[in-house]
């Protein structure tokens, strides 16, 4: 039952930004910024997702090594490098935004992500850019909490998701 609920939960994740991530004793905790906060005029609304039974985390991502004096995303001088990390702080720094998920039997999940660091409007920004990535992890059970630490059940998340998409459709 928990696997189906986790799948149902993750199917709602779209534009959920990973704000922080910790991994301790097979427990993976993510603080996520969710766009649904716009329903309540809270543009920075966050939830905390706690996943238990997490045997590993791994993130594959692409980093653009900018070789130009001024950033130009289309420049042939840019070099994209595929990287891998299991370090929670590094994953957090990637500023990943979950766009979709995949379930792989028996208990592996994949978040497909883009990154808010993939576009720079600052021509003087010589920092490296992140083109997105995939976050792999296992989970056996979950709990969700609102910004005040109150537990949220799956039905509440489904209700918020429906309200959100209804608002999008009616715009």
Per-residue model confidence (pLDDT) at position 123? 47
pLDDT at 23: 97
Which residue, chain included where needed, has tokens 């969710």? 34
pLDDT at 57 over 80: yes
Selected residue with higher pLDDT from 127 and 19: 19
Q: Specify whether the CB–CB gap between 89 and 105 falls below 8 A.
A: no
Instruction: Label residues 52-85 b or e (16+ Cβ within 10 Å = b).
Output: eebeebebebebbebeeeebeeeeeebeeeeeeb
CA atoms within 13 A on the CB side of 141: 3
Q: What is the pLDDT of residues 124-171, one digit of tens each?
A: 454 567 888 999 999 999 999 998 999 999 999 999 999 988 988 887
In 100-111, which positions are buried (b, 16+ CB within 10 angstroms) versus exposed (e)? ebeeeeebebbb
Lay out the sheet containing 79-85: strands in order across: 79-85, 57-65, 129-138, 108-115, 96-104, 16-24, 27-33, 46-52, 141-145, 151-152
Give the pLDDT confidence score for residue 153 in this predicted structure: 95
Residue 119 reports pLDDT greater than 50: no
- Three-state DSSP at 110 gives strand
User: Which pLDDT value is given to residue 69?
Assistant: 56
Tokens of 81: 């490098």
Q: Computed from CA positions of residues 165, 98, 46, 116, in that sequence, does the dihedral angle turn out positive or negative?
A: negative
C-beta of residue 134 within 8 angstroms of C-beta of residue 101: no
pTM of the model: 0.86
pLDDT confidence of residue 71: 56
pLDDT in tens, 70-118: 556 566 666 778 999 999 999 999 999 999 999 998 889 999 999 866 5
Burial level of 41, CB count in 10 A (0-12/13-18/19+)?
A: exposed
What is the pLDDT averaged over residues 14-32? 96
Residue 147's pLDDT is 87
């Amino acid at each position: 039952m928990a696997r189906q609920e986790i799948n149902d939960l993750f199917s709602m994740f779209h534009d959920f930004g990973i704000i922080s991530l910790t991994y301790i004793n097979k427990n993976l905790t993510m603080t996520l910024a969710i766009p649904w906060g716009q329903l309540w005029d809270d543009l920075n609304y966050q939830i905390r997702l706690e996943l238990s039974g997490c045997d590993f985390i791994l993130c594959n991502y692409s980093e653009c090594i900018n070789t130009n004096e001024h950033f130009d995303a289309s420049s042939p001088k840019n070099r994209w490098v595929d990287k891998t990390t299991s370090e929670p702080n590094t994953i957090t720094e990637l500023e990943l935004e979950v766009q979709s998920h995949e379930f792989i039997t028996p208990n592996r999940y994949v978040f497909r992500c883009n990154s808010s660091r993939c576009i720079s409007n600052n021509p003087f920004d010589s920092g490296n850019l992140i083109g997105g990535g995939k976050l792999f992890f296992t989970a056996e059970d979950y709990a969700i909490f609102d910004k005040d630490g109150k537990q949220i059940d799956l039905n509440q998340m489904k209700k918020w998701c429906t309200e959100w998409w209804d608002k999008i459709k009616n715009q």
